[in-house]
Structure 1
């Protein structure tokens, strides 16, 4: 992008798409189960605290977090069109 190298995990704290099954990212994961019968669909959000601590120690944390959130905002915007 700008010639600066980043870690492979840069901008990947959150899953970008939530599909049926386990959706993992570096820190957060979501398991989405299909509804069965009268049971409503169910999502379970998990946080890997060790990875969060690793992210917090990274000198690029603020920029990485902002990029992760921007990707979610854009994906949300596109999904509502």
Structure 2
């Protein structure tokens, strides 16, 4: 599939690795896991609302969203 958007299919971050103490982001969604020592102290999911609004206006939104979700699901399946 030919697309002009270099962000196509990248709404979510790579979920195959869990980074500690640093934000991990995709084009719209992200997370942060705080682990200053042995135990995780906080987990945050993030949404860049401005990017989401821009994505929803994109003519390739539907296919991009489907590819983003499919990729995230496959990454989770492979990881488990």
- Unaligned ranges ≥5, structure 1: none
Residue 35 of structure 1 and its aligned partner are, at CA, apart by 5.5
Return 5+ residue gaps in structure 2 as ranges: none
Relative to the length of structure 2, the TM-score reads 0.83
Residues 12-31 of structure 1 correspond to what in structure 2 (within 5 A)? 12-17=10-15, 18-20=18-20, 21-31=22-32
Matched, 1:5 2:6: no
Relative contact order higher in (CA < 8 Å, ≥ 6 apart) = 2
- Count the aligned residue pairs: 77
2-structure distance, mates of 1:51, 1:79: 28
The list of structure 1 runs, each at least 4 consecutive aligned residues, that deviate by more than 6 angstroms after superposition, is: none
Q: Give the TM-score normalised by the residue count of structure 1.
A: 0.82
The answer for the alignment partner of 1:62 in structure 2 is 62
Please identify the structure whose Cα radius of gyration is greater: 1
RMSD: 1.7
- Output the CA distance in 2 between the equivalents of 1:29 and 1:6: 23
Cα distance, 1:6 vs structure 2: 3.1
